[in-house]
């Protein structure tokens, strides 16, 4: 009964702490709101990522102001929208972007450049641009920026949130320590064990009594501790999933928690490939164990096919989310999406596995170090097919002629590349999707329209990118092979992970020439370029190495809290998409332009999903397809 009480008490304790911490998070957001983020201190006209620029014209002639973001590679200058000047005064107001440093260009009416300034504006700031003549020599114009009001550090809410999570961590650690301390334990057991009447009332209402729950919990707890499954894989998957949920919910409105506009990486761009990677790892582990149990390959194939179809259909259901508001019509249904891509990737990689894998016997020779490459060489037909797929991606991307666009175009279109190819967003990848699926059946708001002002629809989960997502899963599958092949040889496994990480890193460095935009093939989430796959698998192998070391080798960390969502990933993914707009995942904000409030909302929503996953884990409810 002692341990039953303990688990039961710790469950209640956890609820208490979570409730408390959510309250803490919300109230600290209020604090953060007052720290420079409040509407009273910033101009009411400003949205997130904006600042006020007052333009003082002292040269008394008309000029135009253009701007360009540093992030925008080879972009055209855009007209800065300037409010009409008030009569009698030469001061005008403009709103400037604060995500990246920008260049302002001033041209006179005959389009001769007067001056340019490069400046990093701070969010919600108030600045003045003084345009003066310098009559000392020739008639030069000088431009200078002066700070009227600096709102300070607007990333302050992130710091507070970090403190709140550290506080929660400390409370949980101290709490679980206290629960094991016998005086507290005994007291709690007395408090929690219900009286007879209590139990009767509960059973009358049809709910199991708390005592039942306690003993049931204890029972479950004993048989979940069987150390079969690798906890590090679920932890890794859960980590990727929770970042994905946080990012999909808005990432606090910070640009660095949102997807990169075109080339490059932000936090948001890391997680989907990691998810694909770990899926590959799991495919090898599960198919290998099922084959060893004597399942026939055909039977497994039907199972795999059925799972893929289910995943694809769930994906269509999840991304066409207007099912509640209006009837779903074929004319604008989106076909590809995250789950659809996972489904196709899963199908192809599993079939590759079923065709070529040889289940390893349980008793392998203990010392397998001399066969340095055997886990790769043994499966050469798989590698041939993967290389063929990659060759297909490269050929289609670089050689497919796209009407009115340069062949092999990898850019964003829009105002990029000096506006020469506005409708070429994504080159061949975009063209294939528009041709095969149709403009109305692909994603309409690609992240490239934020900075590059693209207008054509482009699907970041399109057809061509799926080839590379298969490659990504296949690289993840190598991690699975390493885990099975060198079972229980921790050092070997970690050396192999590290080697893979280095190899992928070197390939990425060559492909990208270590630059964001100027490499042979830049890292790009929208295209799922091959350098994106190699870079992200370099990170993935390294991260897996660390998590494996902490969770499965040394057991310093149990993988909480990421472990729980990782065990129930489909449920959490589908759930977070379907209930996105409902309380408690979303509520009406007092001030929709405050990072503090966005961050609170998104973190609360993400934390609630962790909590839901934890409860379901405790109740042994898993959505498997
Ligand atoms: C910006 O600051 C100037 C000078 O301090 C002030 O006159 C102006 O009202 C401010 N503008 C806005 C939009 O806050
Ligand atoms: C623009 O600047 C150039 C160079 O200073 C000058 O020659 C030209 O007359 C200016 N145009 C106007 C409309 O002021
Ligand atoms: C401003 O003038 C420069 C040269 O004087 C020209 O190259 C540039 O295109 C002009 N900017 C815009 C946006 O027209
Ligand atoms: C005016 O121009 C001269 C020479 O170009 C320079 O030395 C001086 O600092 C400038 N004055 C101002 C106020 O910018
Ligand atoms: C790009 O597409 C838009 C809308 O479809 C069209 O108006 C425009 O002319 C196109 N631009 C080019 C350069 O083809």
- Ligand 4 pocket member 136 (CB < 6 A): yes
Q: What is the pLDDT of residue 278?
A: 96
Question: Among the atoms of ligand 2, which is closest to the Cα of residue 108?
Answer: 1
Residue 37: is its pLDDT beyond 60? no
- Ligand 5 pocket member 460 (CB < 6 A): no
HSE of 614, CA atoms in CB hemisphere, 13 A:
17
Q: What is the pLDDT of residue 87?
A: 58
Helix (H) or strand (E) holding 576: helix 569-578
Q: How far is the CA of 112 from the centre of ligand 2 (A)?
A: 6
Q: What is the pLDDT of residue 332?
A: 81
pLDDT in tens, 38-54: 555 666 678 889 999 99
pLDDT in tens, 567-586: 999 999 999 999 988 888 88
Whether residue 53 contacts residue 96, with contact meaning beta carbons closer than 8 Å, is answered with: yes
Q: How far is the CA of 107 from the centre of ligand 3 (A)?
A: 6
Name the CA dihedral angle for 540, 541, 544, 546, rounded to a multiple of 10 degrees.
-110
**93 and 133 both lie in a single domain:** yes
Q: How far is the CA of 560 from the centre of ligand 5 (A)?
A: 51
**161 and 256 both lie in a single domain:** no
Give alpha helix (H) positions in 320-404. 338-356, 374-377, 380-399
Q: What is the pLDDT of residue 286?
A: 92
Q: What is the pLDDT of residue 301?
A: 96
Counted domains in the chain: 3
DSSP state at residue 115: E
Per-residue pLDDT averaged across 374-398, rounded?
Answer: 91
Final residue in a domain of this structure, among 86, 117, 149:
149
Q: Is 428 exposed, middle or buried (0-12, 13-18, 19+ CB in 10 A)?
A: buried
- Ligand 4 pocket member 134 (CB < 6 A): yes
382 falls in which pLDDT band (50, 70, 90)? Answer: very high
Selection from 384, 515, 450 nearest residue 75 by Cα: 450
Residue 191 neighbours by CB under 8 Å, 6+ apart: none
Mean pLDDT of the chain: 85
Whether residue 304 contacts residue 351, with contact meaning beta carbons closer than 8 Å, is answered with: yes
Name the CA dihedral angle for 176, 177, 178, 184, rounded to a multiple of 10 degrees.
90
- Ligand 3 pocket member 107 (CB < 6 A): yes
Whether residue 129 contacts residue 117, with contact meaning beta carbons closer than 8 Å, is answered with: yes
**205 and 258 both lie in a single domain:** no
**408 and 280 both lie in a single domain:** yes
**What percent of the chain shows pLDDT beyond 90?**
58
Q: What is the pLDDT of residue 215?
A: 43
Residue 587 domain-assigned? no
Q: How far is the CA of 519 from the centre of ligand 3 (A)?
A: 28
Residues forming the active site? 259
Q: How far is the CA of 422 from the centre of ligand 5 (A)?
A: 7
**284 and 233 both lie in a single domain:** yes
The residue behind tokens 């150390």 is: 227
Q: Residue by residue, what is the 3-state secondary structure of 459-501? A: CCCCHHHHHHHHHHHHHHHHHHHHHHHCCCCHHHHHHHHHHHH
pLDDT in tens, 243-280: 999 999 999 999 999 999 999 999 999 999 999 999 99
Its domain, for residue 186, covers 2-35+155-222
What is the best residue among 57, 108, 114 to mutate for testing ligand 2's pocket, by most ligand atoms within 8 Å of CB?
108
**479 and 424 both lie in a single domain:** yes
- Ligand 3 pocket member 113 (CB < 6 A): yes
496 falls in which pLDDT band (50, 70, 90)? Answer: very high
Question: Among the atoms of ligand 1, which is closest to the Cα of residue 42?
Answer: 14
C-alpha span between 204 and 600 (Å, rounded): 40
C-alpha span between 599 and 605 (Å, rounded): 10
**307 and 386 both lie in a single domain:** yes
HSE of 269, CA atoms in CB hemisphere, 13 A:
23
pLDDT in tens, 421-434: 999 999 999 999 99
Q: What is the pLDDT of residue 222?
A: 39
CATH for 142: 2.60.40
Final residue in a domain of this structure, among 563, 578, 593:
578
pLDDT in tens, 59-115: 878 889 999 999 999 999 999 977 665 555 678 889 999 999 999 999 888 888 889
Q: Is 451 exposed, middle or buried (0-12, 13-18, 19+ CB in 10 A)?
A: buried
Whether residue 56 contacts residue 100, with contact meaning beta carbons closer than 8 Å, is answered with: no
DSSP state at residue 198: H
pLDDT in tens, 393-410: 999 999 999 999 999 999
Residues facing residue 50 across a β-bridge: 97
- Ligand 2 pocket member 111 (CB < 6 A): no
**175 and 142 both lie in a single domain:** no
**286 and 360 both lie in a single domain:** yes
Q: Which pair of structure tokens corresponds to residue 275?
A: 């998810």
**188 and 285 both lie in a single domain:** no
pLDDT in tens, 192-209: 665 555 555 555 555 444
**131 and 174 both lie in a single domain:** no
- Ligand 2 pocket member 110 (CB < 6 A): yes
pTM of the model: 0.88
**130 and 269 both lie in a single domain:** no
């Amino acid at each position: 009964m002692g341990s039953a009480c303990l688990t039961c008490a710790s469950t209640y304790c956890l609820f208490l702490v979570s409730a408390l911490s959510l309250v803490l998070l919300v109230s600290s957001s209020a604090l953060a709101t007052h720290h420079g983020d409040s509407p009273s201190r910033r101009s009411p006209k400003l949205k997130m990522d904006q600042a006020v620029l007052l333009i003082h014209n002292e040269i008394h002639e008309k000029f135009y102001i253009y701007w360009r973001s540093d992030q925008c590679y080879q972009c055209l200058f855009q007209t800065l929208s300037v409010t009409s000047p008030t009569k009698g005064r030469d001061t005008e107001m403009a709103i400037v972007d604060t995500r990246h440093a920008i260049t302002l260009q001033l041209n006179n009416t005959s389009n001769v450049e007067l001056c340019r300034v490069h400046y990093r504006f701070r969010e919600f700031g108030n600045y003045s641009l003084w345009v003066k003549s310098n009559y000392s020599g020739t008639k030069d114009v000088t431009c200078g920026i002066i700070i009227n009001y600096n709102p300070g550090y607007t990333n302050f809410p992130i710091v507070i949130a970090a403190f709140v999570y550290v506080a929660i961590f400390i409370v949980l650690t101290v709490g679980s320590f206290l629960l094991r301390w016998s005086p507290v334990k005994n007291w709690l057991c007395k408090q929690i064990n219900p009286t007879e009447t209590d139990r009767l009332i509960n059973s009358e209402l049809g709910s199991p009594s708390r005592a039942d729950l306690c003993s049931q919990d204890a029972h479950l707890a004993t048989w979940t501790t069987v150390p079969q499954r690798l906890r590090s894989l679920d932890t890794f998957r859960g980590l990727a999933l929770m970042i994905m949920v946080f990012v999909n919910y808005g990432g606090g409105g910070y640009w660095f928690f949102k997807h990169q506009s075109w080339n490059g990486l932000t936090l948001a761009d890391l997680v989907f490939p990691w998810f694909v990677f770990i899926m590959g790892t799991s495919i090898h582990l599960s198919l290998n164990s099922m084959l060893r149990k004597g399942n026939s390959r055909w039977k497994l194939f039907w199972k795999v096919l059925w799972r893929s179809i289910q995943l694809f259909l769930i994906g269509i259901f999840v991304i066409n989310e207007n099912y509640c508001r209006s009837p779903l019509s074929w004319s604008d249904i989106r076909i590809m999406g995250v789950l659809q891509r996972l489904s196709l990737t899963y199908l192809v990689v599993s079939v590759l596995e079923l065709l070529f894998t040889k289940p390893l016997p349980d008793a392998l020779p203990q010392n397998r170090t001399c066969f340095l490459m055997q886990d790769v060489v043994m499966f050469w037909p798989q590698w041939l097919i993967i290389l063929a797929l990659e060759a297909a991606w490269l050929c289609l991307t670089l050689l497919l002629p796209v009407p009115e666009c340069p062949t092999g175009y990898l850019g964003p279109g829009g105002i990029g590349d000096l506006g020469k190819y506005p409708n070429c967003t994504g080159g061949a990848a975009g063209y294939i999707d528009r041709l095969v699926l149709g403009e109305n059946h692909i994603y309409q708001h690609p992240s490239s329209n934020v900075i590059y002002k693209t207008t054509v629809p482009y699907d970041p989960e399109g057809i061509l990118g799926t080839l590379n997502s298969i490659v990504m899963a296949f690289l993840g599958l190598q991690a699975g092979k390493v885990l099975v092949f060198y079972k229980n040889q921790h050092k070997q496994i970690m050396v192999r992970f590290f080697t893979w990480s280095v190899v992928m890193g070197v390939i990425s460095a060559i492909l990208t020439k270590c630059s964001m935009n100027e490499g042979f093939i830049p890292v790009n989430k929208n295209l799922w370029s091959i350098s994106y796959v190699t870079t992200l698998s370099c990170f993935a192998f390294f991260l897996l190495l660390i998590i494996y070391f902490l969770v499965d080798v040394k057991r310093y960390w149990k993988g909480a809290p990421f472990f729980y969502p990782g065990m129930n990933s489909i449920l959490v993914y589908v759930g977070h998409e379907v209930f996105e707009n409902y309380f408690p995942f979303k509520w009406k904000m007092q001030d929709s332009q405050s990072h503090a409030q966005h961050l609170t909302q998104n973190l609360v929503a993400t934390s609630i999903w962790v909590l839901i996953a934890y409860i379901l884990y405790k109740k042994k409810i898993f959505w498997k397809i």
